[in-house]
Structure 1
Amino acid sequence: MRKQRPITGSIQPKDGKLYAVINEYVDGKRKPNWIDTGFKVYGGKRNAAEFLQRVLVKRNDERNRPARLKDATADMFFVDYLRIWLKTKKNDLEPITYQSYEGSIEGHINSYFSARGSKLSTLEPGDFEDFYDSLYQAGLSGTTAQYLHRLMKQAMNYAVKRDILLYNIMDKVDAPRRSKHVASYYTREEALQLFEIAKGDPIYLPILLATYYGLRRSEVMGLRWRSIDFTENRISVEYKVLQFQENGKTVVRGSDNMKTISSRRSMPLIPSVAQELKKEKARQAENRRLFPKSYSKDKNGYICVDALGKLYKPNFVSSHFSLLLEKHDLRHIRFHELRHTCASLLAASGVPMKQIQLWLGHSNYTTTADIYSHLDFKAQEQSASMIESILG
């Protein structure tokens, strides 16, 4: 495991007092934590510096010490328990999932429960219900509330399993209702216009792959030449590339641990896409010949790379996509919504939901139907014809 850089801090004056400003990171972003040292600006600098040093030593020791659930007690603060629990899960979670959990705990959960001094043993169902109400009042969705509910309930279940608690109080709390997601997508005309303006752009191929195959961004970036079989005309989705923050640094990492079992799939190689892939393969071979010393020596054989064979960062693809749309005055959608565009075009053309589920790699039919059933106009036309024939 990569050694974490030490937590740092400084002494800063404010309103005549000296504060220890600790450099903490949440979701990779620096969020200074101001702690009152109890000393004044005049005459207190030495004592404040000693205070800062003690705080930094304690913070670094706590962070680097292996998480031990035996340190957890029912009388400890709820957020402190969540931090210990999360550390024990580090080897079980995908880095990007760990980062998301950590950001949730240090963000919304910490802001609410720490301000109220909530302890593990004194939590009541109403505490969580009030928390969800506070999220709604802040303009957050039911989907966010449900995500946080599941995170906390998972941690509380573990506390029961390890005999820290006798029962999980969250069993008495109704899960927030997930918000109904209405996906944005392009029409056929808009998609064709996008293809036209994207020709020659660095992310032209990622755009084609995401739109034709409905691939997630991580799946597009994880495609390697070994994933393409030009002989059997097949494309295999079996690898992904994620970008996330780790110890305040940006990390790009590949993995064969797909989102679900259904995410690992093999599909026919569409002729127009195959043609562009062959052009890209030839371009990469030519660049490797022209720049043998500076061309990337990476052995993964990624498809979506720059002129020197270096994999594009996933976040670059998303941000560049937005700039491309803005430059050509196209309606703004997110790169991920090219996946929705693929599904919507299939649904509008009468492709059954089950087939769309398999194409997108959804783990179950319900997910596909919940998001795209309102686009199945062909099915609606059939229903209209049927009721007309019945009633005349």
Structure 2
Amino acid sequence: MKGRLVVKNGKYYVVISYQDESSKSKQKWVATGLDEKNNKRAALDMLRTIEAKFANGTLGANSQQSQKSSALSAEQQEDVSSNDSPLFSDYLYEWLQIAKTNIQVTTYSVYKHRVEYIAAYFAEKRTRLKDLKPKDIQEFYTYMQQNGKSVQEAHHCHTVLHRALEVAYRSDYILTNPADKVERPKSPKFKAKFYTAEQMLTLFQKLQGDPYEYIYKLTAIYGLRRSEVCGLRWSAINFENDTITLDHAVVQCEVDGKRVLVTKDKMKNQSSMRTLPLLPAVKDILLNLKREQQERAEKYGQYYNRQYRDYVCVDEVGKLIRPDTLTTHFKSFLVRNNLPVIRFHELRHSCASILIASGVSMKAVQEWLGHSTFSTTADIYSHLNFSSKLGIADTLSDILAGNTMLKRQTAPDTIETMRKIFSTAEIEKPANENHLQTFEVLDEYGEPVEENAAAEVSQDTAPDDADDLSVFKKAKEEMSRLGLETLDEYFEYLDFQERLQKRRDKSKDMEM
């Protein structure tokens, strides 16, 4: 037996949860007649009294009904009959207040928005908690899609419903969790766009002089989440040991109807808290930025905001740069400069795709991006480089033939790859600037798109070298014959042919 206080229509009620002789969970609702305002202590006293009466068997159905009849209208009596449970919509708000103490303020903001939407639907139907069936939840998802809500939003609402009902189940308010029996809404695979290394270098050139240049470069080079780059602090950057630590975040959320900034030391997951090497190009950017911020602080004096003096991403007067501002500015910047439009978060995808196309292992990419598990990285990016599957086949062939296994990619290899990719970003002019393309991650039924962003043409060759020019013309002719549009695609084709030939040769050797 367990008692609790519930506020309904501005009044306190005592709810007693218990099991009858057949071990079936039941509830008794007792009206206190007390208003919610300024009566919390008196309500608690009544709770203890009613719990004692119930335990002694002196709280009868007749006395309870008489108390309720004196304080409730006919409709309210229907809502809180002695053996009934609360309306599901009321329970959702009760659960939200319980969950509030155990979740981050940003998560609470999202949950509150969704609880309001879900509760409005079930309040109209006057569905009670104990009467909620799987078909009721399934009909709610159908209602959402019929009213323009996305499958993704239905998926998020399912998460809220399941967690709320799981608490009700563990608290013995219901016998089973009906959400367990509902077919979970399936979200379509998102088609994420990303830049190649060539496109990234073009972006870096165009960014010169932009007020948020350093933010977008940091995001692209380290594959940062928006909250991570906004939460980067000077105290987390070690210029002597050349390291940069990600252990803080800044997010925006809605609190009491207002969009506010929230700073937090808790990251998305434990793996998100990571220390990465400070690349030379990034070190120069940050040192210059730190000097500029110190000069502005001296220039504006008392008008400079010193509350966020440890933060890297602040504006000219020291205020934190809002995450939403970075997103909207990035999109408008791409449009103004006639660059392929990608989301701000897709700079993170671009970093991963460039690393994978450059031969970096999935495990190393996981550590660089701060994914919680290897499977997260593999699920998102495994399709990007088909040549890695050929590499696996080659490795297996080597083992069967008794040859030495290939060297694994290590963390220092990843660092060196990033250094090579971005070290000349300030001065190198990419080829085919007018032929930038975006490549999308296709869904599970589509054909995977490959882009070997690591293919490079040597910059040491003289343009008037007759032999190389002849080779180039032949390559262009062959590209035309094969229907290939870019040199990257041509180099990918050559790489594929080379690997395929090696496999054939090995097969012949094994047959002999």
Fold-level similarity (TM above 0.5)? yes
Distance apart, 1:137 and its partner CA: 4.3
- CA apart distance, 1:158: 0.7
The equivalent of 2:296 in structure 1 is 287
- Encode CA deviations 1:172-222: one digit per residue, 9 max, x unaligned: 223333432332212222222221222221211110111000110000010
In the alignment, is the contact (CA less than 8 A) between 1:225 and 1:303 conserved in 2? yes
SS in 2 for 1:291: helix
Is the Cα contact below 8 Å between 1:350 and 1:377 reproduced in 2?
Answer: no
Aligned to 1:128: 137
Structure 2 distance, partners of 1:87, 1:300, is: 35
Tell whether 2:107 aligns with 1:97: yes
Residue identity opposite 1:185 in structure 2: F
Match of 1:146 in 2: 155
TM-superposed CA distance for 1:349, in Å, is 1.3
Tell me the alpha carbon deviations over residues 278-297 of structure 1, each in whole angstroms, 9 at most, x when there is no partner: 11011111112222221112
Question: Which one-letter code corresponds to 1:278 in the other structure?
Answer: L
- Counterpart residue number, 1:225: 234
Alpha-carbon separation, structure 2, partners of 1:75 and 1:105: 19
Q: How far apart are the structure 2 equivalents of 1:138 and 1:352?
A: 44
- Counterpart of 2:343 in structure 1 is 334
Q: Which residue, 297, 304, 310 being the options, matches 2:313?
A: 304
Name the SS of the counterpart of 1:297 in structure 2: coil
1:191 and 2:200 matched: yes
Show the counterpart of 2:464: none
Q: Distance in 2 between matches of 1:376 and 1:357?
A: 16
TM-score normalized by the length of structure 2 = 0.60
Query: What RMSD, in angstroms, separates the aligned Cα atoms of the two structures?
Result: 2.8
| Shift of residue 378, structure 1, vs aligned partner | 3.4
Inter-CA distance 273–153: structure 2 relative to 1 (3 Å threshold): same
Distance 1:372 1:94 in 2: 29
Q: How does 1:37-186 map to 2 (within 5 A)?
A: 75-107=85-117, 109-138=118-147, 140-186=149-195
- How far, CA to CA, are the matches of 2:173 and 2:317 in structure 1? 54
Identity between Structure 1 and Structure 2 (%): 39
Task: Provide the rounded CA distance (Å) in 2 between the counterparts of 1:89 and 1:169.
Answer: 20
Shift of residue 389 of structure 1?
4.9
CA drift of 1:142 comes to: 4.2
Counterpart CA distance in 2 for 1:313 and 1:153 is: 33
Match of 1:241, SS?
strand
CA distance in 2, matches of 1:273, 1:137: 49
Number of matched pairs: 329
Deviations 1:208-243 (A, max 9, x none): 111000110000010010111111010000000111
CA contact (8 A) 2:92 2:119 kept: no
1:106 Cα offset (Å):
1.6
CA distance in 2, matches of 1:390, 1:103: 60
What secondary structure sits across from 2:303 in the alignment?
coil
Corresponding residue number in structure 2 for 1:200 = 209
Which residue of 1 is the match for residue 266 of structure 2? 257
**TM-fit CA distance, 1:244:** 1.1
Q: Give distance in 2, aligned partners of 1:359 and 1:352.
A: 11
Secondary structure at the counterpart of residue 302 of structure 2: coil
* Structure 2 CA distance for aligned equivalents of residues 96 and 163 of structure 1: 29
Label 1:389 to 1:374 Cα distance change in 2 as closer, same or farther (>3 A). Answer: farther
The alpha-carbon deviation at position 376 of structure 1 amounts to: 2.4
- Change in Cα spacing, 1:176 to 1:390, as seen in structure 2 (3 Å) is farther
Give the 3 Å change call, closer, same or farther, for CA 74–82 of structure 1 in structure 2: farther
Question: What CA distance in whole angstroms lies between the structure 2 residues aligned with 1:374 and 1:242?
Answer: 31
With 89-98 and 110-119 compared, the bigger mean Cα shift is at 110-119
Asked if the contact 2:243–2:276 (Cα under 8 Å) also holds between the matched residues in 1, the reply is: yes
- Asked whether the equivalents of residues 231 and 249 of structure 2 are also in contact (C-alpha less than 8 Å), the reply is yes
Instruction: Give the drift of 1:74.
Output: 5.9
For residues 308 and 332 of structure 2, the distance between their equivalents in structure 1, rounded to whole angstroms, comes to 31
Return the alpha-carbon distance in structure 1 between the equivalents of residues 355 and 155 of structure 2.
30
In structure 2, distance between residues paired with 1:351 and 1:77: 54
> Is 1:237 aligned to residue 240 of structure 2?
no
Compared CA separation, residues 388 and 85, structure 1 to 2 (3 A): farther
Which ranges of structure 2 fall in alignment gaps of 5 or more residues? 1-34, 48-78, 394-495
The secondary structure found in structure 2 opposite 1:167 is coil
The separation in 2 between residues aligned to 1:223 and 1:170, in whole angstroms, is 40
| Inter-partner Cα distance in structure 1 for 2:256 and 2:207 | 36
Q: Deviation of residue 312 (structure 1)?
A: 0.6
The code of the aligned residue for 1:196 comes to: Q
Where 1:253 maps in the other structure, the secondary structure is strand
**Hey, what's the Cα distance between the residues in 1 that align with 2:85 and 2:506?**
67
Q: Tell me if the contact between 1:141 and 1:179 (Cα under 8 Å) persists in the aligned partners.
A: no
Contact 2:308 2:314 in 1 (8 A): no
- Residues 349, 378 of structure 1: 8 Å contact kept: no
**Which stretch shifts more, 78-87 or 216-225?**
78-87
Deviation at 1:315, TM superposition (A): 1.0
* Distance of aligned partners of 1:147 and 1:208 in 2 relative to their CA distance in 1, 3 Å threshold: same
**Contact persistence 2:234–2:311 (CA under 8 A):** yes
- Say which one has the larger Rg: 2
Q: Mind listing any 5+ residue stretches in structure 1 that lack a counterpart?
A: 1-59
* 2-structure distance, mates of 1:388, 1:183: 35
